[in-house]
Chains A and B, each alone.
Chain A
Amino acid sequence: MTDERPRDCGHCRHFIDDPQDLEAEVEGLKILSSAFGSVRADTGWCKRWDRFCTARTTCDAYSPRTAEIL
């Protein structure tokens, strides 16, 4: 059975975009800001490249999330 989900960061296991996970990952983020805010939109942190990108970004290192999907 083939995985038909888009091969973008939003579906990649390297990508951290959950607000609480992101706040835990980036110390100090919630002091005067928040990962739950609209301005962050779908920005997350890629642990593969140590780089912030949107959930719509793509790259060759894509690796699907497995048991984590809803």
Chain B
Amino acid sequence: MPNVVVGLILAALGLTGLVNWWWSFQEILRGLFPLAMLTVGVLAMTAGFRKIPLADAGVALAELSPLERMFRKEDWWAVWLGLTLVLFALGTYTTHGEFLKALSVNPGGLKWREFGQLTQHFADNMGLYVLQYGMWSLFFGVATRVMGIRFWDFLSGFTFLYVLSVIIFAVGGWAKAAQFNLEPPLVALIVGLVLANTVRIPDWLDSAFRVEFFVKFGIVLLGATFPITLVMTAGPVAIGQATFISLLGCLTIYFTATRWFGLDRRLAAVISVGGSVCGVSATMAIAAAVGATKDHIYASVTLVVGWALVMILFLPFVSQALGLHPGVAGAWIGTSEFADAAGFAAAASYGKMAGNEDAALKSFTLMKVIGRDLWIGIWAMVWALVATTMWEKKDGDTVRSRIDPGEIWRRFPKFVFGFFVASLIVTIATSGYSPEEIKSTVKPALLDPIGALRGWAFIFCFLSIGLTTRFRDLHAVNRGTFSAFSIGVIINVIAGFILSVYVFGDYWARI
């Protein structure tokens, strides 16, 4: 009986309190709701992660469903993460624009003259850097874990990468950095190369050096600052120029390799697309079609990496010596460089040297991503047709491969969707603003912060290029292979220069 009495009193008091303090009750509920969602979300993710097999669990990928296989591809993750960030930016820039700007904090624009200014900047913004580090870790850590990489391995490597990136941006933010050509992309590449080839970097740190993942994510963010109208108007010129150069380079390398140097045609095929379409990625795209061996891939890796590094260092300085417009230089780099990551490093470096990074990146992207990457699946299909219809089978070859038009879709670089969608939604969302409003509101509150976040993604990429390039891991190639590839590269560079500077120079300068 006493229990009932006490219970009644407490219930009556509780009800009275609830009615009188209804507002406070609502506030608590409102505050607890996101916290509960966050907790449940983290717990669900943690539980879910444990069930996702790691790469070394020996999973047969053929057993996975198409949806599960999608989650194992970095292209799709670049699309999802990039678009998430773009939508978040679009949803908050008018009401919480300061938060977005704060999230994209970067010491690169400081123009500091005394070391004290730099330390003061970090002291004032330490919380923002921690928040930003947390965001990147969560974004990339979740994605790579689902792809099968151990989370803690990734996080250790990424922490190292992030700290190095902060230092490199800080160097780039020095008032006299431009005077000494200390552009962050070049510094990142060189620091990475020196570290990778002088210090023994533990293998587990390697998990975070995902060159391609970072560049694809950066390209999706680049789409947000790229008006779709520009893609539509400049795309055909870029595709025409890039297709001509790709065909010229591919045929030159293939026929030089087979006719002059008598190389195996499978080797000739993989180095010809490597040197003219999209580096090692193109090589991997056609490797199965032509039945390449591991040594063929090694040759392509050595040649692509070697020449890509030479051109990252060569093209920006030659462009500077010739005083090329950044848009023109970007187009030239886009026709000359064969790997996206290396090309972005060269284009971003020259853009910073010339004080117009935007133009260099835009024309490079049109030429490389729209003009060349988009068509990798078709190249793979063409080589598969050549190999199956024109090359005779070797005696005793029991391997039976099947080709079908689905190959074009399977090998399509899906991150390009993210680029187009980001471009489209930002163009539509900002179409109601006048040019003055774009300049005064949209640019500083939306486009600049997205551009700064893209800058982080690219620095992670450029550092990763250096940190993964261990010259001792590259395999030697014979003189014929080197010569055939180099002839193709030189012809591409010359033809690309003529087209970008003399034929379409005015066009690229207006980008």
Contacts and interface: CB of A to CB of B under 8 A. Distances in A.
A20 B413 contact: no
10 contacts: A10-B60, A25-B294, A32-B308, A32-B341, A32-B342, A34-B210, A36-B213, A39-B278, A54-B401, A59-B398
Contacts of A29: 280, 284, 297, 301
B285 A40 contact: yes
A47 to B, nearest CB: 9
A18 to B, nearest CB: 5
A7 to B, nearest CB: 11
B75 A37 contact: yes
Contact of A18 (B61, B216, B305, B402): B61
B418 to A, nearest CB: 12
A19 B55 contact: yes
**Per DSSP, are chain A's interface residues mostly helix, strand or loop, or mixed?**
loop
B427 interface: no
A28 B212 contact: no
Interface in B52-107: 53, 55-56, 58-64, 72-76
B400 A58 contact: yes
Given A43-B288, A58-B399, 13 more contacts: A18-B55, A19-B147, A20-B149, A32-B211, A32-B308, A33-B301, A36-B72, A38-B76, A39-B376, A50-B293, A52-B294, A55-B62, A68-B58
Contacts of A19: 55, 72, 147-148
Contacts of B380: 39
What class of interface size applies to chain B in its complex with A? 35 or more
Contact of B301 (A21, A31, A38, A42): A31
B415 interface: yes
A40 B279 CA distance: 13
A26 to B, nearest CB: 6
A20 B284 contact: no
Given A56-B402, A59-B399, A39 B287 contact: no
Contacts of B284: 29, 33, 35, 37, 39-40, 43, 52
* Residue in A6, A53, A67 with the greatest tally of chain B CB atoms within 10 Å: A53
Contact of A52 (B58, B73, B297): B297
Contacts of A17: 61-62
Contacts of A10: 60-63
A51 B292 contact: yes
B288 A31 contact: no
Interface of B: 53, 55-56, 58-64, 72-76, 147-149, 209-213, 216, 278-285, 287-288, 291-294, 297-298, 301-302, 304-305, 308, 339, 341-342, 376-377, 380, 398-402, 407, 410-415, 465, 468-469, 473-475
B292 A30 contact: no
* List of 6 A-B pairs having minimum Cβ-Cβ separation, nearest first: A10-B62, A20-B55, A33-B280, A68-B58, A34-B212, A52-B287
A11 B60 contact: yes
A70 interface: yes
B401 A57 contact: yes
Nearest to B339: A32
Interface residues of A, number: 49
Given A11-B62, A27-B298, A36 B73 contact: yes
Contacts of A8: 62
A8 B407 CA distance: 17
A57 B400 contact: yes
B399 A53 contact: yes
Nearest to A69: B60
Given A11-B62, A17-B61, A52-B297, A37 B413 contact: yes
Nearest to A52: B287
Contacts of B75: 37-38
A49 to B, nearest CB: 6
Contacts of B283: 33
Contact of B212 (A6, A21, A36): A36
B468 A31 contact: yes
A57 B404 CA distance: 12
A60 interface: yes
A65 B59 CA distance: 10
A33 B339 contact: yes
A53 B288 contact: yes
A59 B398 CA distance: 5
Contacts of B147: 19, 36
* Residue in A10, A19, A38 with the greatest tally of chain B CB atoms within 10 Å: A38
Contact of A33 (B279, B293, B400): B279
B211 A31 contact: yes
Nearest to B209: A30
B285 A39 contact: yes
